[in-house]
Amino acid sequence: MIDLDFLTEQVKRLAFEIGAFLREQRQDFHADRVEQKRAHDYVSYVDKESERRIVARLHELLPEAGFMAEEGSGTKVSEKYWWVVDPLDGTTNFIHDNAPYCVSIALMDESEVLVGVVYECCRDELFWANKNSPAFLNGREIRVSDVNTLDQSLVLFGLPYDAEAYREFVVELLRRLYGNTCSLRGLGSAAAELCYVACGRYDAYVEGLIYPWDVAAGAIILKQAGGMITDNSGGMSWCSGKEVVATNGHVHSELLATVAKCSADKFL
Q: Of the candidates 128, 104, 84, 115, which has an alpha carbon nearest to the alpha carbon of residue 240?
A: 84
pLDDT of 42: 45
Nearest-5° angle of CA 32, CA 34, CA 38? 135
Q: Of the candidates 53, 66, 54, which has an alpha carbon nearest to the alpha carbon of residue 11?
A: 54
pLDDT of 149: 98
pTM of the complete model: 0.92
Q: How far, in Å, CA of 138 to CA of 156, rounded?
A: 22
Q: How far, in Å, CA of 14 to CA of 9, rounded?
A: 9
pLDDT along the chain (268 residues), means of 10: 95 97 85 55 72 94 88 63 94 91 95 96 98 98 98 92 79 93 95 98 93 94 97 80 90 95 58
Using an 8 Å Cβ cutoff, are 94 and 64 in contact? no
Q: Of the candidates 221, 232, 230, which has an alpha carbon nearest to the alpha carbon of residue 196?
A: 221
pLDDT of 192: 98
pLDDT of 265: 47
